Copies of this chain bind each other. A is one copy, B any other.
Amino acid sequence: MGPESDPSGTYRRGSRIHNVGESGGAWRIAEGAVRFDTVDADGRLEFAGLATAGDIVGGEALIYGRYSFRATALTPCRMVAWPPGHADDRGSLAHALARAEERSARTLALRGGQAAERVKRLIGMLLPTTRSTVVTTELPPLKDMADITSLTIETVSRSLSALQRQGILRPESQRRGNGSKVCQINAAALPILAAS
């Protein structure tokens, strides 16, 4: 909450939002996707969660005063302070709790079933909520997609290639610079639930 670490604002793909043990408040994701990681004793990172637009980040800090996870932007993000000072805390909190359970269930689903399905579902979750048929998005690095789905980068790459062959995905301006990939996605071809 202190102004010393006001996270409101935008984050570039790959940039750190907060780290384990830092103090600060909670925010809501207005746009983009965020990954959480635990950091164990020897500094090893382990994927611990995925949050997208509308989800709350750093909710645990409301209680512990410190963040339990490391949060990193998977795609360009915009964050706003939460809960909004003026409003009904109880309602906001209960709502955040409900969303958290939903989010958890969806993330869990990214680690079950065949590789191609998992990648497809993940892309579905990363798509901006503007529901047009064709969307252009910058996908996260394969390493992130691999961590999230509990696959290897090679398998994720092969799955993406398969999606291209099926015409669901289309490389936009080819991969750019550091290898990051921008794609056109035929959203209609992805069977997404787009809940809530």
Task: Give A residues with C-beta under 8 Å from B.
Answer: 36, 38, 46-49, 56, 59-60, 62-64, 68-69, 89-91, 93-98, 100-105, 107-109, 111-113, 150
Contacts and interface: CB of A to CB of B under 8 A. Distances in A.
A150 B113 CA distance: 8
A93 B97 contact: yes
Chain A at the B interface: mostly helix, strand, loop or mixed? helix
A73 to B, nearest CB: 18
A163 to B, nearest CB: 22
A190 B91 CA distance: 40
A87 B184 CA distance: 51
**Copies, count:** 2
Given A48-B108, A111-B108, A150-B111, A60 B90 contact: no
Contact of A59 (B101, B107, B108): B101
17 contacts: A38-B105, A59-B97, A59-B98, A60-B98, A60-B101, A62-B97, A63-B91, A63-B98, A64-B98, A68-B101, A69-B105, A90-B90, A97-B97, A100-B100, A104-B104, A108-B108, A111-B112
A72 to B, nearest CB: 15
A131 to B, nearest CB: 20
